[in-house]
Structure 1
Amino acid sequence: MEAVLPTQPCLGLGSFDRSTNLADYLLGGKDPMSVALLTLESAFTYGELDLVSTQLADHLVAVGAQKGDRAILLSENGFFWVAAYLACLRAGMVCVPLPPNIPEKDLAFVAQQTDARFAFAQTRVVRAFPRLSSLTTVTDSELSVSSCRTSITSQASARAVPGLRAPVAGWDDLAALMFTSGSTGTPRGVMVTHGNIIANTESVIEYLRLTAQDRIMTVLPFHYCFGTSLLHTHLRVGGTLVIDRRFMFPEKVLQRMVETECTGFAGVPSHFQILLRRSGLAKMRFPHLRYVQQAGGHLAPTFIRELRKALPTSAVFVMYGQTEATARLAYLPPEMLDQKLGSIGKAIPGVQLEVVDESGRPVAPGGQIGEIVARGENIALGYWRAEEESAATFRAGALHTGDLATVDEEGFIYIVDRAKDFIKCGGKRTSCRRLEEAMLECPDLLEAAVVGIPDEVLGEAVKAFVVHRDKKADGLETRFAAFCRERLPINWIPKEIVVLESLPKNSAGKVVKSSLRRLCGGN
């Protein structure tokens, strides 16, 4: 029997005015006195966000911004990032969010690729990147958040013409170019529209059941699609984002979650691994924490079990997505976590997922491996100025994810690995993901990642990079090697083991395999 995964009930997106601007969708109808952002320094209301972003949009139009102009956004999470992003949308521009610590050569590449004319940047970032001087740049020092708190400083206001009508940008227009991490090669700009974001936001709100009472602890950067999704969903429902950039001190973040009565937390696997094995999470109580969201990669079952034990009264949502799908594609309902441990669940509302073979036919349930293919209004238009790559990934209105998976009899999806993340050992393809999952059963480990290295006999052998949970590396290599010999199949046992203080990660906290391969001297 062929397994076709059911499409979740379609959202009532037809009721949306297709000319709706994303900023108006996010901020419209909110209580102006309600707190939208809670930073370490201050609280900012919906009224302040609305007025400042509107005035900044007017300023941009006054100085020559045209519909579709690209604007680079370089900032840490905070009021400036959000106000600049909303202003960019309201001015009909295309936002290009980037990590503020981006290497200069990557910034040069993105600026050239996008023909950016404008930039929003923190003052310290401007000093670090002289290249920005060639762009019309707005800095955080030009946004006043003291005294009246709702206007642009005199320097910026003098250049603005009040009440200018910004170019109308709606459903089918580009809202952002979300550049992928570049962990496997040259960064690519994913073309995301206002409609893509609205569709995905509505889906996530529906299955997480978000309301104005929700308050999310935000440690994910807004320039990353998972972080941006948190911003979109919570602004849309009138909730609050508690912004904290101190995750290198996890105890402080946990304490602030308690103090601010957060109802939600979201992170990638590395966040949860650190919280579970390098913090006092299990000893603390979070009476207001309704749920946690995990996405951005695979969290090994051993950590999910630990998380359930540490947070027995909080729902755990395991989710799956891609930047090319705006953010989210699938989720596993918390009540199915024990029964379907290891699964990414099923499609979110409004999305259709299939696992297909090489000929495009749905795979049989039970064990046949195929590629996950997605359809929905959240699927991006393609890659910016990359026609060949776009044609290979976005085909016939569907996103070919590159993720290999199986489907069980009930339609739940289980990812095997990325199509390119296998080691061919002794003629047999072995999933790096399965290897890492098995290795993380070792109680001494915080993190593990594997890559293939040349081997004269096997073709490829396993090289493991591991991190000790307590930063005590003495004897770890010997203990881990013994664990592998005892617990792993012979072809999975690492030929080489390297102990690191931490695995290399991008600004979103995701492991960068290409950096590990460079440590091996490989491609």
Structure 2
Amino acid sequence: MATPDGAGDRASSPAEWLFRHAARTPRAEALDAPGTRLAYSAVAERVAVLAGDLATRGAGPADRVVVALPFSPAAAIATLAVQAIGACAVEIDPRTTARTLASILSQTRPRFAIVHARDAATWAEACSDDRRLEWAWATGPRLSDGAFPARGTTPLGPACEPAVPARPIAGPAPVTAGAPALVVYTSGSTRAPHGVVQTYGNVETNTRAIVSFLGLSAADRAMALLPFHYCYGKSVLQTHLFVGASLFVEPRFMYPRIAIAALGTEECTGLAGVPLTFELLRREVDVRSFSHPALRYVTQAGGRMHATTLTWARAAFAPARLYVMYGQTEATARLAFLPPERAADKEGSVGIAVPDVELRVVDDAGRERPAGELGQLVARGPSVTPGYLDAPEETAAILHDGWLWTGDLARRDADGFLFLAGRAREILKVGGYRVVPDEIEEALAAHPAVADAAVVGAPDDLEGEVAVAFVELRPGASATERDLRSHCLQVLGRVKVPTRVVAVDALPRSAAGKPLKPVLRERARELMSALAG
């Protein structure tokens, strides 16, 4: 793993931001949720006590501590406690399977973990004798002796307070810019998950950039819908802690009407979502029938949102300003954003680079491409990861001479605005023609019966490769495969018409809401093989 520039320079940590605001504005709202209200002083107190218990058990700056808690203020407090002792938090989805958990534990080799007691059986299955933990802290019901694969466990209350009071730390440990702050596991939408290392310098730099272009202040209050183990959800938490603002953690999005009602009653000024967030709201909620007068901005990242949904979102949440953003876990969070005032004349663009990031469109040899021409999107700046955890070959594949090769294809217009054209690995070669799946997906999504679409390639003896589309239809809507292929023919032309269009009840998705294309590719291969046989 490469060593970042300025690795020895001092950096500030999210725990420092918390303690600073707790001293200045102790009664200010910090982390709230249904049934939970925690001011900055209360959050800092719980972080200090849990950090003290971590230190007492032997955890220190050299440790990676796993945090696997349900989406709640407790999950934020746990990671802040880990960072308060200068250690590195390994945040994972608590719903992770035992097999995946075993792989993560093999990579990270943690001595400590903060978990939910209900997941003890999964941990017991994932932990071999040589992978048992020295100590674990568990929220939820008290664990019986030997139920969790650790030498000992400490019960935690619902806000991460140890059952037996520990001596709190006096303040957060100093950290350097190059020290690991987080290991974040990618969604695996196009490959097996990797542990992305994010340093304290990465986190501070990208947090400052996002705060700058969103104009965040202590007066802001975001509704948090995205889990903190997900890079986008974590950035929402970090940016608001940085300025002394607050979050309302909303874990009830399976009932979208409840969440949208809370947006108004909690006087939220900001809302962050992935494309699936807005598509579900569009399908199930009349957003304009709810009052949310404090809302001033909405952000969208985590993948391309279909044009029709984007138009809907701008109207539904107006006069709040909608920021389309682009980023990668490997760049900590954000790489680019589209200023809302340019939405009309730059429709479809992901915008311009965020502060302290340089973006270029290059050919395969790294030479810059002229405006309007397609190329590889590369990024450079202090928010770029030093690499994947203990994976030098994978790291070398994405980092070249200080540049992060994002894997995305893009064009830059004459004004410097970027337009994505899909993942380089996903470009199809159909009968010798280059076909971009995103273009077909956008065309299908424009059909009134289609809610979402994902296009993958499958081998074909005649064409070499063919496009296969999987679509989710809108509730109550109907469209035949012939209808949808005819629609594509009219919009795209013959070469880009998918060979098959398959309606599914729901697209398989990652925890971030992105279609799982490796799963769909396997389905497409099986489908085409069955047709050929």
Q: TM-score normalized by structure 2?
A: 0.89
What residue identity is the alignment partner of 2:380? R
Contact kept in structure 1, 2:90 and 2:184, CA below 8 Å: yes
> Which residue does 1:32 correspond to in 2?
26
> Which residue does 1:23 correspond to in 2?
15
Alignment of 1:169-208 (within 5 A): 169-208=175-214
What residue identity is the alignment partner of 1:409? A
Q: State the alpha-carbon separation in 1 of the partners of residues 121 and 28 from structure 2.
A: 35
Alignment of 1:354-433 (within 5 A): 354-366=360-372, 368-433=373-438
Contact kept in structure 2, 1:274 and 1:446, CA below 8 Å: no
Q: Against the structure 1 CA distance between its residues 489 and 26, is the aligned structure 2 distance closer, same or farther, given a 3 Å change threshold? A: farther
From 456, 459, 462, give the equivalent of 1:454.
459
From 467, 473, 479, give the equivalent of 2:472.
467
Alignment of 1:141-160 (within 5 A): 141=140, 142-144=155-157, 152-154=162-164, 157=165, 160=166
**1:161: Cα distance to partner?**
4.5
> Which residue does 2:498 correspond to in 1?
494
5+ unaligned residues in a row in structure 2: which ranges?
1-5, 141-154
> Which residue does 2:287 correspond to in 1?
281
**1:266: Cα distance to partner?**
0.7
Q: Against the structure 1 CA distance between its residues 315 and 357, is the aligned structure 2 distance closer, same or farther, given a 3 Å change threshold? A: same
Q: Against the structure 1 CA distance between its residues 256 and 29, is the aligned structure 2 distance closer, same or farther, given a 3 Å change threshold? A: closer
Q: Against the structure 1 CA distance between its residues 304 and 104, is the aligned structure 2 distance closer, same or farther, given a 3 Å change threshold? A: same
What residue identity is the alignment partner of 1:348? V
**1:97: Cα distance to partner?**
0.5
Structure 2 residue 220 is matched with structure 1 residue 221 = no
SS at match of 2:94: coil
Q: State the alpha-carbon separation in 1 of the partners of residues 424 and 451 from structure 2.
A: 25
What residue identity is the alignment partner of 1:143? L
Structure 2 residue 90 is matched with structure 1 residue 91 = no
> Which residue does 2:151 correspond to in 1?
none
Q: Against the structure 1 CA distance between its residues 458 and 151, is the aligned structure 2 distance closer, same or farther, given a 3 Å change threshold? A: closer
**1:440: Cα distance to partner?**
0.7
Structure 2 residue 144 is matched with structure 1 residue 139 = no
SS at match of 1:378: coil
Q: State the alpha-carbon separation in 1 of the partners of residues 106 and 355 from structure 2.
A: 37
> Which residue does 1:6 correspond to in 2?
none
What residue identity is the alignment partner of 1:134? R
SS at match of 1:229: helix
Structure 2 residue 212 is matched with structure 1 residue 211 = no
What residue identity is the alignment partner of 1:25? W
Q: State the alpha-carbon separation in 1 of the partners of residues 377 and 237 from structure 2.
A: 27
What residue identity is the alignment partner of 1:304? L
From 257, 266, 270, give the equivalent of 1:264.
270
SS at match of 1:359: coil
**1:384: Cα distance to partner?**
0.7
Q: Against the structure 1 CA distance between its residues 35 and 17, is the aligned structure 2 distance closer, same or farther, given a 3 Å change threshold? A: farther
Q: Against the structure 1 CA distance between its residues 451 and 64, is the aligned structure 2 distance closer, same or farther, given a 3 Å change threshold? A: same
RMSD of Structure 2 on Structure 1 (CA): 2.3
Contact kept in structure 1, 2:489 and 2:496, CA below 8 Å: no
Contact kept in structure 2, 1:369 and 1:404, CA below 8 Å: yes
Contact kept in structure 2, 1:278 and 1:469, CA below 8 Å: no
Q: State the alpha-carbon separation in 1 of the partners of residues 326 and 395 from structure 2.
A: 21
From 65, 72, 77, give the equivalent of 2:71.
77
SS at match of 1:213: coil
What residue identity is the alignment partner of 1:140? T
**1:283: Cα distance to partner?**
3.8
What residue identity is the alignment partner of 1:121? V
Q: Against the structure 1 CA distance between its residues 324 and 518, is the aligned structure 2 distance closer, same or farther, given a 3 Å change threshold? A: same
SS at match of 1:277: helix
From 425, 429, 439, give the equivalent of 2:444.
439
Contact kept in structure 2, 1:68 and 1:174, CA below 8 Å: no
SS at match of 1:494: coil
**1:503: Cα distance to partner?**
0.9
Q: State the alpha-carbon separation in 2 of the partners of residues 318 and 165 from structure 1.
A: 37
From 325, 345, 354, give the equivalent of 1:319.
325
Give the % identical residues: 37
**1:359: Cα distance to partner?**
2.6
Contact kept in structure 2, 1:220 and 1:227, CA below 8 Å: yes
Q: Which has the higher contact order (CA 8 A, sep 6+)?
A: 1
> Which residue does 2:149 correspond to in 1?
none
**1:380: Cα distance to partner?**
0.9
> Which residue does 2:253 correspond to in 1?
247
Q: Against the structure 1 CA distance between its residues 237 and 347, is the aligned structure 2 distance closer, same or farther, given a 3 Å change threshold? A: same
**1:352: Cα distance to partner?**
1.0
Q: Against the structure 1 CA distance between its residues 388 and 215, is the aligned structure 2 distance closer, same or farther, given a 3 Å change threshold? A: same
